[in-house]
Amino acid sequence: MTRLLIVGPQGSGKGTQGVRIADAFGVPAISTGDVFRAAVADGSDLGSQVKAIIEAGDLVSDELTSAVVRDRLSQADAAGGFLLDGYPRNLTQVMHLEEFLEGRGEELDAVIELSVPRDESIARLTLRAQEQGRTDDTEAVIANRLAIYERETAPILGVYGARGIVVQIDGVGSLDEITARIVAALDARGVKRTAAA
Ligand code: ADP
| Span from the CA of 81 to the centroid of ligand 1 (angstroms) | 22
Say which residue, 113 or 139, is predicted with more confidence: 113
Distance CA 82, CA 77 (A): 9
Q: Which member of 134, 151, 163, 189 is catalytic?
A: 134
Q: Can you tell me the mean pLDDT for 69-97?
A: 97
- Mark whether 118 is an active-site residue: no
Q: Tell me how many degrees the CA angle 38-195-69 measures, rounded to the nearest 5.
A: 30
Report pLDDT digits (tens) over 65-80: 999 999 999 999 999 9
User: Is residue 10 within 8 Å of 149, Cβ to Cβ?
Assistant: yes
Distance CA 77, CA 95 (A): 24
Q: Which member of 37, 145, 192, 193 is catalytic?
A: 145
Provide the pLDDT for residue 196.
Answer: 57
- Mark whether 72 is an active-site residue: no
CATH architecture designation of domain 2-188: 3-Layer(aba) Sandwich (3.40)
Average pLDDT, the chain: 94
For the chain, which residues make up each domain, given as ranges? 2-188
Stated pTM of the model: 0.93
